[in-house]
Amino acid sequence: MSDPTVQPVHPSVVAQVDAADVTLSNPRVAVLSLGSNLGNRLETIQGAVDALEDTPGVRVKGVSPVYETDPWGVEPGSQPAYFNAVVVLKTTLPPDSLLERAQAVEEAFDRVRTERWGPRTIDVDIVTYAGIVSDDPRLTLPHPRAHERAFVLVPWHDLDPAAELVGHGPVAALLAGLDRSGVRPRTDLELRLPE
């Protein structure tokens, strides 16, 4: 689905971002978690990946496999199942600007925030950003519940088996202590890495 609110990026901007990938002395890598349990879940998540890629200063470098997961923090059966995935990106944006972009993507896909852990068309969370630790209430880094969420850690581990969550340790070790039964691979579905 093409999102009319997301403007295409001029090719020269893309070239500048690609050049920044090479020239940054300390590349900033961010991991974002994407989830959807309303509407066309796969199409919406792909649209969010594409919208992130269309952001000046952002290059999506990896997209995980898709997982279908039970809703977290609510009674079983009270909501439809989620599709979840993780993206790894390089960015020249500071964390607060990346958060603003993530929220703009949610808004473009009609994300409604009426109840905590309520159903949603799309959820775009910054899991970690360049190893930064921050307790800023607007953007806590790393995400304060990522270490206990199999629906974040399983796809992240698939994408990067050596990944570490700052302050918590290797993702593989964190997964060893979590129940993964509600996180089911959807091998019939695939997200495209933007070209």
169-170 and 123-129 as β-strands: parallel, antiparallel, unpaired?
Answer: unpaired
Neighbours of 14 (CB within 10 A): 15
- Residue in 28, 54, 125, 149 annotated catalytic: 125
Amino acid identity for residue 52 in this structure: L
Residue 123 annotated among the catalytic residues of the structure: yes
Place of tokens 């269309």: 54
Backbone angles phi, psi at 95, to 5 degrees: -55, -45
Is 186 known to be catalytic? no
Residue 120 is among the residues annotated as catalytic for this protein = yes
From 28, 123, 135, 158, active-site residue = 123
Task: Out of 120, 138, 186, 192, pick the active-site residue.
Answer: 120
From the list 111, 113, 179, 186, the catalytic residue is 111
Residues annotated catalytic, as ranges: 111, 120, 123, 125
